[in-house]
Protein backbone atom coordinates (compact mmCIF):
# COMPACT_ATOMS: atom_id res chain seq x y z
CA UNK A 1 0.00 0.00 0.00
CA UNK A 2 1.09 3.54 -0.62
CA UNK A 3 -0.17 6.99 0.17
CA UNK A 4 -1.49 8.89 -2.82
CA UNK A 5 -1.37 12.63 -3.25
CA UNK A 6 -4.73 14.29 -2.65
CA UNK A 7 -5.63 16.59 -5.52
CA UNK A 8 -6.92 20.03 -4.51
CA UNK A 9 -8.80 22.82 -6.28
CA UNK A 10 -8.34 24.18 -8.90
CA UNK A 11 -7.10 20.89 -10.46
CA UNK A 12 -9.48 20.18 -13.35
CA UNK A 13 -9.68 16.41 -12.60
CA UNK A 14 -12.05 17.41 -9.77
CA UNK A 15 -14.46 18.88 -12.35
CA UNK A 16 -14.60 15.93 -14.73
CA UNK A 17 -17.01 13.00 -14.80
CA UNK A 18 -15.43 9.69 -13.78
CA UNK A 19 -15.80 6.59 -15.97
CA UNK A 20 -17.33 3.26 -15.04
CA UNK A 21 -14.95 0.57 -13.80
CA UNK A 22 -15.13 -2.72 -15.74
CA UNK A 23 -11.90 -4.48 -14.69
CA UNK A 24 -11.69 -5.87 -11.16
CA UNK A 25 -7.99 -6.66 -11.44
CA UNK A 26 -4.89 -6.37 -9.23
CA UNK A 27 -4.45 -2.74 -10.22
CA UNK A 28 -7.93 -1.89 -8.91
CA UNK A 29 -7.23 -3.76 -5.67
CA UNK A 30 -4.02 -1.76 -5.17
CA UNK A 31 -5.85 1.49 -5.91
CA UNK A 32 -8.51 0.63 -3.32
CA UNK A 33 -5.90 -0.24 -0.68
CA UNK A 34 -3.97 2.97 -1.43
CA UNK A 35 -7.15 5.07 -1.21
CA UNK A 36 -8.11 3.56 2.15
CA UNK A 37 -4.63 4.24 3.52
CA UNK A 38 -4.65 7.79 2.12
CA UNK A 39 -8.12 8.52 3.59
CA UNK A 40 -7.06 7.27 7.02
CA UNK A 41 -3.80 9.20 6.98
CA UNK A 42 -5.45 12.48 5.88
CA UNK A 43 -7.58 11.89 8.10
CA UNK A 44 -10.96 11.80 6.41
CA UNK A 45 -14.17 9.79 6.43
CA UNK A 46 -14.41 9.37 2.67
CA UNK A 47 -12.36 9.62 -0.50
CA UNK A 48 -13.35 9.45 -4.17
CA UNK A 49 -10.96 8.35 -6.93
CA UNK A 50 -10.86 11.81 -8.61
CA UNK A 51 -9.41 13.16 -5.35
CA UNK A 52 -6.30 11.07 -6.00
CA UNK A 53 -6.24 12.04 -9.68
CA UNK A 54 -8.11 9.02 -11.10
CA UNK A 55 -11.21 9.39 -13.24
CA UNK A 56 -12.73 6.12 -12.02
CA UNK A 57 -16.12 5.60 -10.33
CA UNK A 58 -14.79 4.44 -6.97
CA UNK A 59 -15.34 5.66 -3.41
CA UNK A 60 -14.13 4.54 -0.01
CA UNK A 61 -15.93 5.56 3.18
CA UNK A 62 -15.11 4.74 6.77
CA UNK A 63 -17.46 5.83 9.50
CA UNK A 64 -18.49 4.83 13.00
CA UNK A 65 -21.47 2.52 12.90
CA UNK A 66 -23.01 4.22 15.94
CA UNK A 67 -21.98 7.87 16.05
CA UNK A 68 -23.87 8.27 19.33
CA UNK A 69 -21.49 5.91 21.19
CA UNK A 70 -17.88 6.85 21.90
CA UNK A 71 -15.30 4.44 20.48
CA UNK A 72 -17.91 2.76 18.29
CA UNK A 73 -16.19 0.53 15.71
CA UNK A 74 -15.73 2.02 12.26
CA UNK A 75 -17.12 0.30 9.21
CA UNK A 76 -15.26 0.47 5.90
CA UNK A 77 -17.28 0.73 2.69
CA UNK A 78 -15.63 0.22 -0.69
CA UNK A 79 -18.09 0.94 -3.50
CA UNK A 80 -17.24 0.60 -7.17
CA UNK A 81 -19.56 2.31 -9.66
CA UNK A 82 -21.78 3.73 -6.90
CA UNK A 83 -25.08 5.37 -7.68
CA UNK A 84 -27.81 6.75 -5.49
CA UNK A 85 -30.96 4.88 -6.45
CA UNK A 86 -33.22 6.59 -3.95
CA UNK A 87 -33.03 9.60 -1.67
CA UNK A 88 -35.46 10.80 0.96
CA UNK A 89 -37.39 13.97 0.31
CA UNK A 90 -36.57 14.96 3.88
CA UNK A 91 -33.35 16.96 3.94
CA UNK A 92 -31.10 18.55 6.50
CA UNK A 93 -28.53 21.33 6.44
CA UNK A 94 -25.08 20.34 7.66
CA UNK A 95 -21.52 21.61 7.67
CA UNK A 96 -19.13 19.86 5.31
CA UNK A 97 -15.47 20.08 4.55
CA UNK A 98 -13.35 18.38 1.91
CA UNK A 99 -9.77 17.17 1.65
CA UNK A 100 -9.70 18.63 -1.89
CA UNK A 101 -10.91 22.05 -0.71
CA UNK A 102 -8.57 22.71 2.23
CA UNK A 103 -9.16 25.55 4.67
CA UNK A 104 -12.88 25.97 4.03
CA UNK A 105 -16.19 24.52 5.23
CA UNK A 106 -19.70 25.10 3.97
CA UNK A 107 -23.34 24.58 4.81
CA UNK A 108 -24.94 22.04 2.47
CA UNK A 109 -28.48 20.65 2.26
CA UNK A 110 -28.55 16.87 1.75
CA UNK A 111 -31.14 14.08 1.88
CA UNK A 112 -31.39 12.44 5.30
CA UNK A 113 -31.52 8.94 3.81
CA UNK A 114 -30.14 7.39 0.63
CA UNK A 115 -29.84 3.96 -0.91
CA UNK A 116 -26.57 3.41 -2.76
CA UNK A 117 -26.12 0.64 -5.29
CA UNK A 118 -22.79 -0.45 -6.70
CA UNK A 119 -20.26 -3.26 -6.56
CA UNK A 120 -17.77 -4.36 -3.93
CA UNK A 121 -14.06 -4.63 -4.62
CA UNK A 122 -14.56 -8.07 -6.20
CA UNK A 123 -17.37 -6.96 -8.52
CA UNK A 124 -20.30 -8.41 -6.54
CA UNK A 125 -23.42 -6.23 -6.28
CA UNK A 126 -23.93 -4.26 -3.06
CA UNK A 127 -26.76 -2.11 -1.79
CA UNK A 128 -26.27 0.22 1.18
CA UNK A 129 -29.06 1.95 3.07
CA UNK A 130 -27.54 4.98 4.75
CA UNK A 131 -29.01 7.67 6.94
CA UNK A 132 -27.79 10.69 8.85
CA UNK A 133 -24.11 11.52 8.55
CA UNK A 134 -23.32 8.35 6.57
CA UNK A 135 -25.91 9.36 3.95
CA UNK A 136 -24.29 12.80 3.77
CA UNK A 137 -20.84 11.26 3.26
CA UNK A 138 -22.05 9.04 0.40
CA UNK A 139 -23.78 11.97 -1.31
CA UNK A 140 -20.61 14.07 -0.98
CA UNK A 141 -18.35 11.31 -2.35
CA UNK A 142 -20.63 10.36 -5.24
CA UNK A 143 -20.83 14.05 -6.21
CA UNK A 144 -17.04 13.92 -6.70
CA UNK A 145 -17.54 11.26 -9.37
CA UNK A 146 -19.65 13.71 -11.37
CA UNK A 147 -17.27 16.66 -10.99
CA UNK A 148 -19.38 18.34 -8.29
CA UNK A 149 -17.79 19.84 -5.18
CA UNK A 150 -19.66 20.59 -1.97
CA UNK A 151 -18.94 24.27 -2.57
CA UNK A 152 -21.22 24.06 -5.64
CA UNK A 153 -24.12 23.04 -3.40
CA UNK A 154 -23.29 25.14 -0.34
CA UNK A 155 -25.49 28.03 0.72
CA UNK A 156 -22.45 29.63 2.30
CA UNK A 157 -18.74 28.81 2.58
CA UNK A 158 -16.30 30.12 5.20
CA UNK A 159 -12.97 29.62 6.93
CA UNK A 160 -13.67 27.34 9.90
CA UNK A 161 -13.19 28.10 13.57
CA UNK A 162 -10.99 25.60 15.48
CA UNK A 163 -14.14 23.77 16.67
CA UNK A 164 -15.50 23.51 13.11
CA UNK A 165 -12.20 22.08 11.83
CA UNK A 166 -13.05 18.82 13.61
CA UNK A 167 -16.11 18.31 11.42
CA UNK A 168 -16.02 14.93 9.75
CA UNK A 169 -16.19 15.16 6.00
CA UNK A 170 -13.95 13.94 3.31
pLDDT (tens digit per residue) in 149-160: 999 999 999 999
- Which of 77, 52, 81 is CA-nearest to residue 134? 77
Contact 97, 104 (CB under 8 A): yes
At 47 the pLDDT is 98
Note the pTM of the prediction, 2 decimals.
0.93
Q: Which CATH code of 3.40.228.10, 3.40.50.1400, 3.90.45.10, 1.10.10.10 fits the domain covering 12-91+112-148?
A: 3.90.45.10
In this predicted structure, what is the pLDDT of residue 170? Answer: 61
Cα dihedral value 133, 40, 151, 81, nearest 10: -80
- Decide if pLDDT at 36 tops 90: yes
Choose, from 141, 163, 164, 165, the residue flagged as catalytic.
141
92 classed as catalytic: no
Model pLDDT, residue 161: 85
Pairing type for strands 74-87 and 113-119 reads antiparallel
pLDDT over 70 at 76, yes or no? yes
Amino acid sequence: MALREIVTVPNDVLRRKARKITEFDKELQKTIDDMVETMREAPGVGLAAPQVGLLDRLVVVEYEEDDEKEDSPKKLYVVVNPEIISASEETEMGIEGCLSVPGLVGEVERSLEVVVRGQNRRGQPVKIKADGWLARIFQHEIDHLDGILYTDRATKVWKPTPEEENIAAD
